[in-house]
Amino acid sequence: MQPTPSRTMDIPKEIRDCGLRATLPRVRVLQLFHENPGKHFSADDNYHLLSNENIDVVLATVYRVLLQFAEANILIRHTFDTDRAFFELNKGSHHDHIICTKCGCVEDFVDDAIEQRQALIAKQHRYILQTHTLTLYGLCETCTQPGHWDRVVIFRCSVQRNGLSKCMHIR
């Protein structure tokens, strides 16, 4: 269910272990996530990051690879109420997210009290709980200090109707 927590990261092995061939596109995509711990990348992000490294991979392949990795539980897919999908490395332990609506940075958090209340609510509604999504939106410490805004470099960001930035990561 969760990826092997090996300290020497053998990416081809990790891919083969879930029944997939260790091809270049798959290795490089997974490598990107390992090289950027905690980051959330869209298909397009992956595509451009790989292009910047002069790796010839086609967008359709990136989509296929991300989907397979998500099905294999190597990656986790999120939407964050935007119109695109973002993926992050599945570190095995569940967590929720707090996102800055200005700079788009994402932090993880876990709160046992909330987890327990959720279980209780599901029981009260007579549901068998399978999963949940909890995302807090607000302004991060940096973005609440006006003078510091110009120090933040957005990797790529376009604000959409619902007020969220379309791209969730910064350099």
Partner DNA sequence: CTAGCTGCAAAGATTTTGCATGCGT
Partner DNA sequence: ACGCATGCAAAATCTTTGCAGCTAG
54 binds DNA (CB under 7 A): no
Q: What are phi and psi of 159, to 5 degrees?
A: -80, 135
Residue 141: closest CA among 150, 153, 131, 149? 149
67 binds DNA (CB under 7 A): yes
Residue 46: closest CA among 31, 80, 22, 81? 31
| Closest to its own copies by CB, 51 or 109 | 109
Residue 11: closest CA among 31, 25, 29, 39? 31
Residue 119 CA to residue 22 CA, distance in Å, equals 39
What is the nearest approach in angstroms of its own copies to the Cβ of residue 11?
A: 24
105 binds DNA (CB under 7 A): no
23 binds DNA (CB under 7 A): yes
Beta bridge partner(s), residue 159: 165
What is the nearest approach in angstroms of DNA to the Cβ of residue 126?
A: 30
Measured CA to CA in angstroms, residue 70 lies from 5, 85, 110, 111, 139 at distances of 17, 11, 21, 24, 29
What is the nearest approach in angstroms of DNA to the Cβ of residue 78?
A: 10
First to last CA, the chain: 31
From its own copies, DNA, none, which one binds at residue 131 (CB under 5 to 8 Å depending on kind)?
A: its own copies
| Closest to its own copies by CB, 137 or 155 | 137
Beta bridge partner(s), residue 21: none
Q: What are phi and psi of 151, to 5 degrees?
A: -80, -25
72 binds its own copies (CB under 8 A): no
What residues from 150 to 169 belong to the interface with its own copies (CB under 8 A)?
A: 161-162
130 binds its own copies (CB under 8 A): yes
Contacting positions for its own copies (CB under 8 A): 67, 70-71, 77-79, 81-83, 85, 98, 100-101, 107, 109, 111, 113-114, 117-118, 121-122, 125-141, 144, 161-162
Contacting positions for DNA (CB under 7 A): 12, 16, 20-26, 42-44, 56-61, 63-65, 67, 83-85, 160-161, 166
